[in-house]
Amino acid sequence: MSFKGIAINYDYCTGCHSCEVACRVEHGYPDDQGGIVVVQVGPWQIGEDKYQYSFMPIITDQCDLCASRTAEGKDPTCVHHCQAFVMKYGSVDELAKDLDQNPKTVLYSLA
C-alpha cells in the first residue's frame, strides 16, 4: 500500500498562512507550533521598484496528516483551507505522477 502525502506547488504559494492557522485551530496547537510552517525568503530586489518573495510551506513532526479528518474521507484541513489551491492530498504514488508536469512542486511522503 502506498504512503499518503501532500504535494505543494510552492511557485503559486502566496504566503497567506491560512494552512498554518487551520492546522493550529484543528489541533489546538499554540501560536508558535503547528504541523505546517510557511517560511518566507526575501524580499530580494530584482529590478527598479521590483521585489521578489519566495514561500515554502514545511510540514513538521507535529503533522498527523489530520488522521481524524482523513479517516472520514475528508482532505486534511490545511489542504481544505489553502486559499491558492496549491496543496493536494493523496497517495504518494498518484501525487508523484504529477510532478514532472508541475515544476516547483514538493512532495511530502508522510504516513
User: What residues line the site for ligand SF4 (CB under 6 A)?
Assistant: 8, 13-19, 22-23, 26, 35-36, 38, 55, 57, 59, 63-66, 76-78, 82-84, 86-87
Alpha carbons 87 and 63: distance in angstroms, whole number? 15
The nearest distance, CB 22 to ligand SF4, in angstroms, is: 6
Alpha carbons 100 and 47: distance in angstroms, whole number? 30
Alpha carbons 105 and 96: distance in angstroms, whole number? 10
The nearest distance, CB 39 to ligand SF4, in angstroms, is: 10
The nearest distance, CB 93 to ligand SF4, in angstroms, is: 18
Nearer to ligand SF4, 74 or 97 (CB): 74
| Closest residue by Cα to residue 10 from 111, 103, 97 | 103
Nearer to ligand SF4, 47 or 103 (CB): 103
Q: Report how far Cα 92 is from the mean position of its chain's Cα atoms.
A: 14
